[in-house]
Amino acid sequence: MILASQSPRRQELIANITPSFRVIVSQAEEKLPEGIAPEEAPVYLAGIKAEAVAAAHPDEVVIGADTVVILDGEILGKPRDQADAERMLRALSGREHTVITGCAICGFGRRVTFSEQTRVTFYPLSDREIAEYIATGEPFDKAGAYGIQGKGCVLVQRIEGDFFNVVGLPVAKLKRELEAFDTSLSSEDKA
């Protein structure tokens, strides 16, 4: 099994499903087509990653994933700089947003995609809280400028849905999708 992601968080999480995997980072350009709905973006990007790696490893199962934070119909990606992180955290302050992780499983000429959504509500944040969090450096490689599994946990008032989805990989759903993918491969072998 191959994980097409350089995210250390995804690598830790997939180890809960299988200790036997390797990481091959996709070199595919992650560009969204014009007009794609924000909710469809993570599945599209996960598919690009998984397919690029699967093309070089067609007889292995490849998993791609992508996580987005959506607020008011806008995707909040990784912040470009401190000002962008500040803008995102101010926008999220005291509000609910949606985190969607898209996953793609490719291999043996097959492709399955799915996504998981989790609603996250932030506490109202003071300027000081925002500045202190940004000073940790944690926001800069995270969608929406926060990491729920790290120091960003103090920003979150509540979540509705899968916690691990917010971290970057919906582990329980992925396990079930992998089992179904493997079962269908076994069925094809018997046919």
* Catalytic positions, written as ranges: 66
Q: For residue 87, what are its two tokens?
A: 């803008």
| 25 DSSP 8-state letter | -
Q: Which residues pair with 160 in a beta bridge?
A: 119
Report CA-CA distances (Å) from 79 to 17, 129, 144, 157: 30, 17, 7, 22
3-state secondary structure of 77: coil
Give how far Cα 118 sits from Cα of 6, 33, 69, 100, 179, Å.
Answer: 22, 24, 10, 7, 23
What tokens were used for 139? 């926001």
